[in-house]
Amino acid sequence: MNYKDQLVTCEQCGKRFVYTVEEQRRQAELGLPLIPPTLCPTCRREAEPRPGLHPGVVKWYSEEKGYGFLIQDDGTEVFFHRSGVTGDPERVLQEKAPVWYEVKKTERGPQAYNVHERE
């Protein structure tokens, strides 16, 4: 499949931003539907997180650092800390692990918590 960067209009500020090939590829690889993000990166950072559990996949996790990143269902990334993992660490804390997670707003931007295995 050929992916192309797509221009998307932010639902909040009306600015156009790029829904990148990388984001689309990640969604496809993870078996997630190719749905563009509704908010630009700036608004996303400020937005109230969507409530509830979302499906995602672990991009990477560093035991040394005690944190990592998840790929969200919209193809974007979100930070998570080891303390936000509620599932089986052996299953959750590895690359490409399918997970459920919730997102909260912090001073440093959105953060995933209640991260646990999806299968």
Smaller CB separation from Zn ion, 12 or 86: 12
103/111 Cα distance (integer angstroms): 5
Which of 40, 57, 78, 115 touches Zn ion (CB under 5 A)? 40
Nearest approach, Cβ of residue 32 and Zn ion (Å): 22
Does position 18 interact with Zn ion (CB under 5 A)? The reply is no
Cβ-defined contacts of 8-13 (< 8 Å, 24+): 8/36, 8/37, 8/38, 10/38, 10/39, 10/40, 10/43, 11/38, 11/39, 12/39, 12/40, 12/43, 12/47, 13/40, 13/42, 13/43
Nearest approach, Cβ of residue 70 and Zn ion (Å): 22
Could you tell me how many residues of this chain bind Zn ion (CB under 5 A)?
A: 5
Does position 12 interact with Zn ion (CB under 5 A)? The reply is yes
Type of residue found at 97: A
Nearest approach, Cβ of residue 46 and Zn ion (Å): 9
Provide Rg for the chain, Cα atoms: 14
Q: In this chain, which stretch among 42-50, 52-60, 71-79, 80-88 interacts with Zn ion, using CB under 5 A?
A: 42-50
Binding residues vs Zn ion (CB under 5 A): 10, 12-13, 40, 43
